[in-house]
Every structure is written in C-alpha cells, then in structure tokens.
Chain A
Amino acid sequence: MSIRAQRRVLPGFGLTMGITVLYLSLIVLIPLATLPARTMTMSWAAFRETITDPRVVASYRLSLGASLVAAAVNAVFGALVAWVLARYSFPGRRLVDALIDLPFALPTAVAGIVLTTLYAPTGWLGAPLADRGINVAFTPLGVTVALIFTGLPFVVRTLQPVIEDLDPELEEAATSLGGSRADVLLRIVFPNLFPAWLTGFALAFARAIGEYGSVVFISGNMPMRTEISPLLIVTKLEQYDYAGATAIAVVMLIISFVLLLAINGLQSWARRRVAP
C-alpha cells in the first residue's frame, strides 16, 4: 500500500495515518495473522483429520443448516416488517421501528438465557408447544429460533431504506396503465427490491454462522446433534488443543470470507441497478 499524496492544504495526514495503521495492525491485523500462521505449523494430514472428524462435520452441518433456515425465515417475515414500517402508518410505528435493533443492542448471553427459559418445556412458549409434541429448547429447532432472533434486524434494515426510496411514481404509472396491484408488486416492486432482499438474507446468514452467545444456552450442546462450530472451538481450547481449535476456525473463516465476497458482489449489483 503506497501512500502518495498530492500537495495538501490540510495538516495531520501523516500523524492520523500513522495512528490508523499502527492501531489497526496492533489490535486487528497481527492478532488475526496468528490464525493462518498457526495453521502453517500443522501438517496437512493433521489439519484434514481435525476438520473431517465426524463431530466437527456434524457441527458444520448444524451451523450452516440452522443459519440457512433462520435466514430464510427472516427473509420472509423481515420483508413484511420492512414493508409495513416503510409504507403503512399505525399507532406505535416509531416504537416498533426502534425495537427492531434490539438483537444488536441486547447482549447475546441475555438473549441466550431468556430464549432458553421461554422455550424450555416449562416456559411461556415452550409449554404450549410441548403439549403439541414440539420440543424447541435443546434441539436444532432451538438453535434456529435463537438465530432468527439475532438475524432479524439484517433483512429489515437492508430492505427498509430501499423501500422508502422507491419512487411512488413508478407504481402509480404502472397502475394507471392498467396493472393490478398484484401485477405491480410482482413486476415493478419486487424486481427493484430483489438485490437488497438477497443482501439482507446473506448478511443474516453470515452473522448466524459465527453466532455463539445466544445459541449455546438453548442448544444444549449435545455432540453430533446440537453442537455448533463456534462451541467446538471453545471446547478444543479448553482442552488446550490450540491446533484443533485453529483448524476449525480457519474453515469457518474461509466460509465467512466467501460470504463476504458474495455480499460485496451483491451490493455492487444492487448499486448498479439503483443507479440511473
């Protein structure tokens, strides 16, 4: 990264750039670099053995599967919430709007214990469900419920500004040309929202894969059944198996970066579509 600057009137570039790069390196880059560095010291055989261990594979399957289902649920209901907040007026709308960010603001451990208590077989929501033979807490379904909670704001907050910015004249024009409301929604509104909708889905999905605090309580952490990948990292660390923990972390990191690339691609696609 070469830092070449034109003649500047403003002072302080050197100083602030120095602080930025130094602090970024010390707090973020050097610590994160230990991850690939540690992996290099492992033999390929040992690395492969760790990440293909059935228990580890089961955890990837659960983490990815539950995250996918949770993101899909959020994609459907989050879109409705975003639409309602952007388009309809009803009493308490501003309150609901502020409340959407609760999963960002509420510490994950608190979310974890309260969801577990609610969905336990004796809980407010768990008891009526248990009567109908549906167990939520300590099952993969419980993991999914926790991930729906954490992912909820992503779809709403990605879609809401896009819906607010939709030009109403588009819809008016389509309607005056004889389109039914369903036609207009399907052929005009939905295509305009699609990139943002997909981005929100991907963001919720990506966040869910790494989520730890809100899941560990409700999951029950049974090996092969309800054990998520981040928990396995913690378990390996507690056994001083740094290499094993690192190997699982590296795989998770690769999944995250693939998703990050996909999301960046989606965002530039969305921008190109929105741009006139």
Chain B
Amino acid sequence: MSTPLRTGRVSEPRAVRWLITAIALGFVGLFLVVPLVAVFAQAFAKGFEAYRIAIVEPDTLAALKLTLLAASVAVPLNVVFGVAAGWAIGKFQFRGRHLLLTLIDLPFAVSPVISGLVFVLLFGRRGWLGPWLIDHGFQIVFAVPGIILATIFVSFPFVAREVIPIMEAVGTEEEEAARVLGAGGFQLFYRVTLPNIKWGLLYGIILANARAMGEFGAVSVVSGHIRGVTNTLPLHVEILYNEYNAQAAFAVASLLGCLAIVTLILKTIVETRVDRSGRRPAHETIEGMPWESKSAV
C-alpha cells in the first residue's frame, strides 16, 4: 500500500491506462462512494432538527449504550486473549500449533447467523443449559449477556491474528536478553514485548472494535429485539427501517457510518506504522493473506 509506485518504462499505452482507471474508479464510485454518501444524505433528508430528534430519542441512546457496553467488554477480553495467544503461539514451538491457529480463525469461517444460533442452542429455553440456567434466574439469550457473548465470538480472532505473526517475526532474542539481565515477567512484557507489538495490537483493536460495534447477524439472532433493553445500534437501525421510519433509521445508521470512516482513517494511519516497523510486509498475516480475508469462509 505504501510502497512507492513503479512508474517503469514498461506499461500499457496511455489510452489503455486511462480506460482501465476510469472503469476501476467507476466501479468503486458506484459500489462504495455512492452508498456511503447516500447514508448521510438520507440521514439529513428532513433537515438537521429531524436528525437531532432521531439521535436523542431514548431508545436510540439505550441502543448506543448497549453497543458501547458490548464492545467495551468484548474488545478488552479479546485483547487479553490475543496477547496471551501471541505469547504462547508466537514465542514457543509446540505440537498442535498449526491446529490452534486454524481453530482461532473459526469464528471467521461461519455465517454470522450460525454464530448466533450456537448460543441459542446452548442457552435458549430449549437449549442444553438454558432450562437449568433460566430456572436459576439466569437469562442469557434474549438478554444482555447473550449479546455480549455473540459480540465476543464475532470479534474473537482480530487481535490474536494481528499479534501472533508479529510476536513470531520479532523472535525471542530481545526477551531472552532481558531475562538474562534479570527482568521479571511483567517488566519483560511491559518494557520489551509491548513496544514491539503495540502498532499491531492497536491495528487488531481497531478491527475488533469495528466488528464488535457493527455486528448485526449474530446479535440479531440472540437479541430478541426488545426495544430499549436488548437493542444495539445496528438492530435499532433495522427496527426503525422496518417501521418505515427511514429518516430516523438513516440518522442512526449515520452514527455507524462515522464509526466506519473513523475506522478506515485509523486503520490507514496505523497500517503505515505496522509496515514501517518493518516487522512484516504490508497486508501479511498468519497465512500470508490480506486483512480479514479469512473472515470469508
């Protein structure tokens, strides 16, 4: 991405270059720029006052609070896991290491709907643990804990898959030296390891946060759609839209649109840092694949 362009002598004729660029930019414009602009255009279609009313409405604020709550639980937990996994998998060799890497990617491999489904099968009224838990007063699915669980699940691999390859690429020499010089475990991590992984860690957090705040399918399945109680921002967008209140739906959606823009900006800034630290080539991750591409499967 940040590699200098090769404006070599060998290239296509000027007319062909222009044509290809025009087609590519036309495609990007049609499929990316127009939808992004339309979100904000629709949000302000009835003026600023209507926009403000849609945002400060109590159900919207409750949804915003729940979205922030879910992300603020899911992201730190996934950071702790990601750093632990990075240390164990990146710094040590053991059997089953490859299997472990594959298992960590599993949440990317399943449909969001299936991610929600498994929690309903576990904790639902007719699930495995659900009846017992509900009898004892613990409602997981169709309540806030279910939303948090689903959010943790879908944002699970992001930090780990950024941190593991960096820990691996940095190697163990610096830590070993610090160890020999008498550094304790915590000191070792804080003074030696953390400075090396900080940009990759931040990159993972940005991606995990975007997914945690924006998840729709998995959260939708476990939520039960109770207004003001189990509604996250994306679910609130859906409810408003299905109530034919398109302007309010787009007003709320514009908040998520801002989240997306901020994510893209931070991502671009941090990406150059990750590249520049020279620990890995641009876009490379565990399997040598670009960002999130595994999420695909």
A interface residues with partner B (beta carbon < 8 Å): 1-6, 8-13, 15-17, 19-21, 23-24, 27-32, 34-35, 37-38, 77, 80-81, 83-85, 87-90, 94, 96-115, 117-118, 124-125, 148-149, 152-154, 157-158, 160-161, 164, 168, 171-172, 175, 181, 184-185, 199-200, 202-204, 206-207, 209-213, 217, 230-231, 233-234, 237, 240, 242, 245-246, 249, 252-253, 256-257, 259-260, 263-264, 267, 271
| B87 in the interface (beta carbon within 8 A) | yes
Query: Do B117 and A2 have beta carbons less than 8 Å apart?
Result: no
Task: Report whether over half of chain A's contact residues are helix, strand or loop; otherwise say mixed.
Answer: helix
Cβ–Cβ < 8 Å partners of B95 in chain A: 1-4
Cβ–Cβ < 8 Å partners of B210 in chain A: 104-105
Q: How far is the CA of A184 from the CA of B292 in the complex (A)?
A: 32
Query: Do B249 and A113 have beta carbons less than 8 Å apart?
Result: yes
Query: Do A230 and B297 have beta carbons less than 8 Å apart?
Result: no
Cβ–Cβ < 8 Å partners of B38 in chain A: 114, 117-118, 124
0 or 1 for each of B149-186: is its CB under 8 Å from A? (1 = yes): 10011001000000000000000100110011000010
Q: Which of B33, B77, B207, B216 contacts A99 (CB 8 A)?
A: B33
Per CB-CB distance, the 5 closest pairs between chain A and chain B, nearest first, are A210-B111, A107-B214, A1-B96, A213-B216, A157-B290
Query: Do A230 and B113 have beta carbons less than 8 Å apart?
Result: yes
Q: Which of A185, A203, A213, A233 contacts B297 (CB 8 A)?
A: A203
Among the interface residues B88, B185, B292, which one has the most CB atoms of the partner chain A within 10 A?
B88
Q: How far is the CA of A84 from the CA of B11 in the complex (A)?
A: 12
What is the count of residue pairs linking A and B with beta-carbon distances less than 8 angstroms? 350
0 or 1 for each of B1-44: is its CB under 8 Å from A? (1 = yes): 10101111111110001001101110110111111101100100
B interface residues with partner A (beta carbon < 8 Å): 1, 3, 5-13, 17, 20-21, 23-25, 27-28, 30-36, 38-39, 42, 77, 80-81, 83-85, 87-89, 91-96, 99-100, 103-104, 106-107, 109-114, 117-122, 124-128, 149, 152-153, 156, 172, 175-176, 179-180, 185, 188-189, 207, 210, 213-217, 220-221, 233-235, 237-238, 241, 246, 249-250, 253, 256-257, 259-261, 263-265, 267-268, 281-284, 287-297
A selection of 29 A-B contacts at a CB cut-off of 8 Å is A9-B179, A20-B100, A24-B85, A31-B122, A34-B121, A34-B127, A80-B20, A81-B28, A84-B25, A87-B6, A88-B21, A97-B1, A101-B291, A104-B295, A105-B259, A105-B261, A106-B260, A107-B256, A109-B256, A112-B216, A114-B250, A152-B31, A199-B289, A200-B293, A210-B110, A213-B217, A233-B111, A242-B121, A242-B124
Q: Which of A8, A11, A158 contacts B293 (CB 8 A)?
A: A158
Query: Do B217 and A20 have beta carbons less than 8 Å apart?
Result: no
Chain A: minimal CB distance from B279 (Å): 16
Query: Do A103 and B234 have beta carbons less than 8 Å apart?
Result: no
Cβ–Cβ < 8 Å partners of A234 in chain B: 113, 220-221
Q: How far is the CA of A11 from the CA of B172 in the complex (A)?
A: 11
Cβ–Cβ < 8 Å partners of B293 in chain A: 154, 157-158, 200, 203
Query: Do B114 and A149 have beta carbons less than 8 Å apart?
Result: no
Q: How far is the CA of A160 from the CA of B144 in the complex (A)?
A: 41
Query: Do B112 and A102 have beta carbons less than 8 Å apart?
Result: no
Chain B: minimal CB distance from A28 (Å): 5
